[in-house]
Amino acid sequence: MLDRYFKTRKFRRNSEDYAYKIMKSMGRYDFAYRKIEDVTESDCRKFILEINQDYYDSRVEHTVVAISGAYKLAIKDGLARKNPFDFKWRDLLAGKVKEKAPLTSDQMERLLNFMRNDTCSAFYVDRVIFLVETGLRISEFLGLAVEDFDFERRTVQIRRQLLHHDRTYYLASAKTPASEATIALSPKAVQSAKNIMEQCGETYPMTDEKGKLYHLFVLSKGHKLTNECAINIAFSKVCKRYNTVHPDDHIYFTPHILRHTAATRMIKDGVKLPVVRKMIRHKSIDTTIRRYVTINPDDIVQEIESIYK
Q: Give the pLDDT band (50/70/90) at residue 14.
A: low
Indicate yes or no: pTM above 0.75. no
What pLDDT, on a 0 to 100 scale, did the predictor assign at position 72?
A: 93
Judge whether residue 294 has pLDDT over 60. no
What pLDDT, on a 0 to 100 scale, did the predictor assign at position 170?
A: 93
Degrees, nearest 5: CA angle 115-116-119: 75
288 contacts 279 by C-beta, under 8 angstroms: no
Alpha carbon distance 157, 140 (integer Å): 10
**Out of 2-11, 107-116, 140-149, which region has the weakest mean confidence (pLDDT)?**
2-11
Task: Using the CB atoms, write b or e for 72-104: b if 16+ within 10 Å.
Answer: ebbeeeeebeebbbeeebeebbeeeeeebebbb
Across 30-41, average pLDDT: 92
Q: Give the pLDDT band (50/70/90) at residue 220.
A: very high
Name, of 29-38, 96-105, 129-138, the range with top average pLDDT. Answer: 129-138
Q: Give the pLDDT band (50/70/90) at residue 218.
A: very high
**Out of 14-28, 155-169, 172-186, 198-212, which region has the weakest mean confidence (pLDDT)?**
14-28
